[in-house]
């Protein structure tokens, strides 16, 4: 008797995949090698590889979330891909650990992860991205952000309060503070795009002064 594998599903991924795809088409170079940090259900990996010709998408996740991600990539990662595109088997990645995939990658992409990871992990995400990006590679971060003490919407403020009740280390991150941290590592903000549901897509580009330290 066959046992059907129940794949993880994110309604948020389904809602935001097309707006994200629109901006990835604008920013990512053709046939880009992309490391996705925190691939979750794997829906973004599959969707982007089905619509971006030549993209080589590398999903990754923390060990405890690998089973569902690997299941989706195994079942859907070979179907209906765009010409030349592929989704690689997922890798285990904890951004706070020294070992990152060797790359290099033209882009690092992450969606709805910064507010979930502890605040102390955010600098590790930036520094790790610098290490694996090519000389002018892009770091693309999607999610809700605040600006100083101001939230962009009441719903984001309520979401931030909810997260911090669950765990004080979580919370909606300050885009201004994030930009300053990134700049010190040689990642310079190129775009801050409004997205549906009061989210943003921040696009950073690595420059020659990126130290990766």
Contact call for residues 67 and 34 (beta carbons, < 8 A):
no
Place of tokens 């010709």: 53
User: What pLDDT shows up at residue 8?
Assistant: 78
Structure tokens given for 130: 């610098």
Residue 209 has pLDDT above 70, yes or no: no
- Cα(185)–Cα(13) distance, integer angstroms: 29
**How many other CB atoms sit within 10 Å of the CB of residue 108?**
31
E strands along 112-195, which residues? 133-143, 145-147, 150-151, 173-174, 187-195
Query: pLDDT tens for residues 92-128?
Result: 999 999 899 988 999 999 999 999 999 999 999 999 9
Residue 212 has pLDDT above 70, yes or no: no
Domains of the chain: 11-95+109-206 (3.40.50.150)
Residue 64 has pLDDT above 50, yes or no: yes
Closest CA relative to residue 115, chosen from 57, 76, 58, 158: 158
pLDDT > 90: percent of the chain: 81
Structure tokens given for 59: 């999903």
42: left (phi over 0), alpha (psi -120 to 50) or beta: left
- Cα(26)–Cα(5) distance, integer angstroms: 35
Confidence class for position 210, pLDDT limits 50, 70, 90 = very low
User: What pLDDT shows up at residue 169?
Assistant: 96
The gap from C-alpha 141 to its chain's centroid, in whole angstroms, comes to 6
């Amino acid at each position: 008797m066959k046992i059907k594998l129940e794949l993880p599903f994110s309604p948020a991924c389904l809602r935001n995949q097309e707006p994200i795809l629109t901006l990835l088409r604008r920013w990512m170079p053709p046939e880009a090698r992309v490391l996705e940090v925190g691939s979750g259900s794997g829906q973004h990996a599959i969707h982007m590889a089905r619509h971006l010709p030549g993209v080589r998408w590398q999903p990754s996740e923390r060990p405890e979330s690998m089973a569902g991600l690997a299941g989706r990539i195994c079942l859907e990662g070979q179907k209906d891909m765009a010409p030349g595109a592929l989704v690689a088997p997922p890798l285990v990645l904890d951004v706070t650990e020294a070992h990152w995939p060797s790359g290099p990658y033209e882009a690092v992409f992450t969606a709805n992860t910064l507010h979930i990871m502890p605040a102390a992990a955010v600098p590790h995400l930036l520094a790790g991205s610098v290490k694996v990006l090519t000389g002018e590679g892009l770091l693309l971060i999607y999610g809700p952000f605040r600006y100083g003490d101001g939230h962009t919407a009441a719903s984001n403020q309520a979401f931030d309060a909810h997260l911090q009740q669950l765990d004080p280390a979580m919370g909606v991150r300050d885009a201004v503070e994030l930009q300053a941290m990134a700049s010190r590592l040689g990642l310079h903000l190129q775009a801050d795009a409004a997205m549906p549901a009061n989210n943003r897509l921040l696009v950073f580009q690595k420059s020659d002064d990126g130290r990766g330290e």
